Amino acid sequence: MASSTVNEPTRAPGKSELRNQKPKPDDRDESELLTVPDGWKEPAFSKEDNPRGLLEESSFATLFPKYREAYLKECWPLVQKALNEHHVNATLDLIEGSMTVCTTKKTFDPYIIIRARDLIKLLARSVSFEQAVRILQDDVACDIIKIGSLVRNKERFVKRRQRLIGPKGSTLKVRKVVLDTMKNIHPIYNIKTLMIKRELAKDSELRSQSWERFLPQFKHKNVNKRKEPKKKTVKKEYTPFPPPQPESQTDKELASGEYFLKASQKKRQKMEAIKAKQAEVLSKRQEERKKAFIPPKEKPVVKPREASTETKVDVAAIKEKIKKAKNKKLGALTAEEVKLKMEVDEKKKKKKK
């Protein structure tokens, strides 16, 4: 007879048991789990990973400015060739000024249409084909940052944008650096931080540690000074009562009594006021004309002071000094030395005879 065995049903562990259950120890080192080995690359996506292809057709289109039309005409065959390798169609519409990319039945990579979209976007934004075609690679990405609306003042915008542009039109390629530059933070501070991080990443011991103690902390020294208006308006104290109503012309005439005068009397008063103003103007003009005939005040004549005896110069002594200086040349002999020399010469002549 064949023996039969019956397995007892196993009981599922309860919640309390799951809480108290300890995880199994892992033999692998933590550094191996956190770090990527050097030289490792993610394998490329091939047709074997998706042999059936895509279910739906996807397409993207973008517009380009008129000045890019001539360049796109020249490089469009190269664009089509690069996209055909990934089974993506590309069309250029010069009438509408647009570029379109779409997948085909042979397309197997679902993400290639996103890369093709980025390619036509870069071409529309004045990026050369040699640089833009690199976006089709797996280890290359791009980021388009719209900085036109970040700064209102046009002069400030141009100055801050100039900080980002490097030699031969190359620009900085970090989004945080670009946005901070448009907020008036110079890119050199962020570049220093990136350089320090790159050096720290080379050290295997510091990869799993915090880098905050090594990174520089820059403080804003420039205080935004608000421009004060030239004309300061002083606010008046609030009063619940309305301001007094200004007097009208009739009220002023009633107060001065002109309201009750006749038209001829009013006319006479106006003429008298005009004549009085004319007389004042004439008197001012005459005074200005008379100023030209008024002689200027003469300065008092100052008598020359007699030279004091203490400051008198001995002219004869100076003349003698000048004569001696002329006779005495640089390196010349004195009168006594000349006499002695002549005597010595005469004695030599006598001896020779």
Residues 6+ apart with CB under 8 A from 143: 175
In the prediction, which pLDDT does 19 show? 42
In the prediction, which pLDDT does 76 show? 95
- From the centroid of its chain, how far is CA 15? 61
Residue pair 180/196 in contact by the 8 Å Cβ criterion: no
In the prediction, which pLDDT does 64 show? 94
Q: Which residues of the chain have pLDDT under 50?
A: 1-25
* Span 272-319, pLDDT tens digits: 999 999 999 999 999 988 888 887 777 777 766 655 555 556 777 777
Residue pair 132/123 in contact by the 8 Å Cβ criterion: yes
In the prediction, which pLDDT does 78 show? 95
3-class state of residue 244 by DSSP: coil
In the prediction, which pLDDT does 172 show? 58
* Span 154-165, pLDDT tens digits: 888 888 878 777
